[in-house]
């Protein structure tokens, strides 16, 4: 890391007002602002957005069907600001308790916040973020603010937002535009509110899935003149960044957090190993012992899912196109098959690839009655859900995030979260593991923001392995031997910031 030279900057005193930005490219594509829920606002190069919905998501949240949309409300936080849009700002106190609980298991990130806030390594940074809005990400956001950054935030998934946490962040002064059960139009509107505002222009991007980066490239390309860097968390978003780089269209440096050691070996593996069971139990009450399950993809996410299911007595098959990962699955005791070989007999299908149309309509037609289909990848296009929206099939919502797709012969297939990310849509995830990723993201933002000119070119970079090692060492100190000299921990944290 380069030597830090903090530049202090104050937050604007006035309420941001939406402004119109004129730009030359893609004018025809964005000549009309999306006004109708469910309409596709723009195309995607890799996969469809995290919002594409084929049933009314907003009707199955924790509020009544006829409740006024947050976009139509005027809410004021305890600071007198209206620069946010959440479900109910009155839930802020409850959300604050959720955040405080999460902080107890995010010790290294909290220590980084306490020990580095005097140096303010992010002073002057204006970070626009698009991630899951949960208690764990709230701790990250408040850490960035404590380190000197100004933040505007929105959700990368229409189902994963914890409304009470979004309210707590908004009440603390962070401009949050997100609520659980957004429509597609709401999703893009929230992103636009974070970017297109008077008197505030971002200079850093923290993205999860690439939707924010994609929107800004398409609609506000001139904003990138002041962007110092992008930090991307998911495989879907990283793939889109590599496409931009290959086409020569990536105009700022980007950090690939997804392929970092800390993300792959901890978040993707251990987080999914625990949360896959939680998501399936909460939605279906399924008994795993003796069930035949096929896991599509044996990357770190797939490995975690397979290990958890095997431990509870499920018979697990794996589909995998990478010969190295396929051999790993064999060595771990799983039978590697083609999906068509087992499609008629399996009870559960779980996709973990980040790819598109992994489970096709033809395969869904051949599944047996009562089969469960779900996704653990970021994109909602791994399962061909769009093909199920036909007149011959009937959709029946049986509980929150659980749909029965009924065929003419009476066969039912159980679809969870409309093919979106199961664990964050239907359950929760382990705080400790997410804390490791959050610490990595914070360090990546500090590195990009403070890097001397010329260190990073307009390309996608992997995080230095040393940064991952130091992050892990911090967590070992806190979890394995918390009695070690705290001054020693302080020295390690400061080393992150000055080396």
pLDDT in tens, 139-159: 999 999 999 999 999 999 999
Quick one: which of 163, 294, 222, 177 has its CA closest to 26? Answer: 222
Domains and CATH numbers, the chain: 43-263+429-498 (3.40.50.1480), 274-425 (3.40.50.720)
Q: Which residues pair with 231 in a beta bridge?
A: 206, 255
φ/ψ bin of 179: left (φ > 0), alpha (ψ from -120 to 50), beta (otherwise): beta
Q: Quick one: which H or E segment has residue 294?
A: strand 292-296
The answer to whether the beta carbons of residues 208 and 237 sit under 8 Å apart is yes
- For the entire predicted model, the pTM comes to 0.79
pLDDT in tens, 91-132: 999 999 999 999 999 988 998 898 888 899 999 999 999 999
Q: What is the dihedral of CA 24, 26, 31, 37, to 10 degrees?
A: -140
Ramachandran angles phi, psi of 150, nearest 5°: -100, 135
Confidence band for 480, pLDDT divided at 50, 70 and 90: low
For a pLDDT cut of 90, what percent of the chain falls above it?
A: 68
pLDDT in tens, 217-267: 999 999 999 999 999 999 889 999 999 999 999 999 999 999 888 888 888
């Amino acid at each position: 890391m380069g030597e830090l030279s903090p530049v202090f900057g104050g937050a604007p005193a006035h309420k941001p007002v939406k402004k119109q930005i004129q730009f030359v490219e893609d004018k025809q594509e964005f000549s009309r602002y999306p006004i109708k829920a469910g309409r596709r606002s723009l195309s995607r190069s890799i996969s469809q957005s995290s919002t594409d919905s084929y049933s009314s998501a907003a009707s199955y949240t924790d509020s009544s069907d006829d409740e006024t949309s947050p976009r139509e409300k005027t809410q004021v936080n305890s600071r007198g600001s209206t620069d946010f849009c959440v479900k109910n700002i009155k839930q802020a106190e409850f959300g604050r308790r959720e955040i405080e609980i999460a902080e107890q298991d995010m010790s290294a990130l909290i220590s980084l916040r306490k020990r580095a806030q005097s140096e303010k390594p992010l002073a002057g940074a204006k970070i626009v973020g698009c991630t899951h809005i949960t208690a764990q990400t709230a701790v990250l956001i408040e850490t960035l603010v404590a380190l000197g950054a100004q933040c505007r935030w929105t959700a990368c998934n229409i189902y994963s937002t914890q409304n009470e946490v979004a309210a707590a962040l908004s009440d603390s002064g962070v401009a949050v535009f997100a609520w659980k059960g957004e429509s597609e139009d709401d999703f893009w509107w929230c992103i636009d509110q974070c970017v297109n505002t008077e008197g505030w222009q971002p200079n850093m991007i923290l993205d999860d899935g690439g939707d924010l980066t994609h929107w800004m490239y398409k609609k506000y390309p001139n904003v990138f003149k002041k962007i110092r860097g992008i930090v991307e968390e998911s495989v879907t978003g990283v793939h889109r960044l590599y496409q931009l780089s290959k086409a020569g269209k990536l105009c700022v440096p980007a950090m690939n957090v997804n392929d970092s050691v800390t993300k792959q070996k901890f978040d993707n593996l251990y987080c999914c190993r625990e949360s896959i069971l939680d998501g399936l139990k909460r939605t279906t009450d399924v008994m795993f012992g003796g069930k035949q399950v096929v896991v599509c993809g044996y990357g770190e996410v797939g490995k975690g899912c397979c290990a958890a299911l095997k431990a509870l007595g499920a018979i697990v098959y794996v589909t995998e196109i990478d010969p190295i990962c396929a051999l790993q699955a064999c060595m771990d005791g799983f039978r590697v098959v083609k999906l068509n070989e087992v499609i008629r007999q399996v009870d559960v299908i779980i996709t973990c690839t980040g790819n598109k149309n992994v489970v096709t309509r033809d395969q869904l037609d051949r599944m047996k009655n009562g089969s469960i289909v779900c996704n653990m990848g970021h994109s909602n296009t791994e399962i061909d859900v769009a093909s199920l929206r036909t007149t011959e099939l009937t959709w029946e919502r049986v509980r929150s995030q659980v749909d029965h797709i009924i065929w003419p012969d009476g066969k039912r297939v159980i679809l969870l979260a409309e093919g979106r990310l199961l664990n964050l849509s239907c359950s929760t995830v382990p705080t400790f593991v997410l804390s490791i990723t959050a610490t990595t993201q914070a360090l990546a933002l500090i590195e990009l923001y403070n890097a001397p000119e010329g260190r990073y070119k307009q390309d996608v970079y992997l995080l230095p392995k040393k940064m991952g090692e130091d992050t892990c060492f911090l967590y070992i100190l806190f979890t394995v031997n918390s009695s070690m000299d705290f001054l020693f921990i302080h020295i390690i944290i400061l080393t992150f910031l000055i080396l």
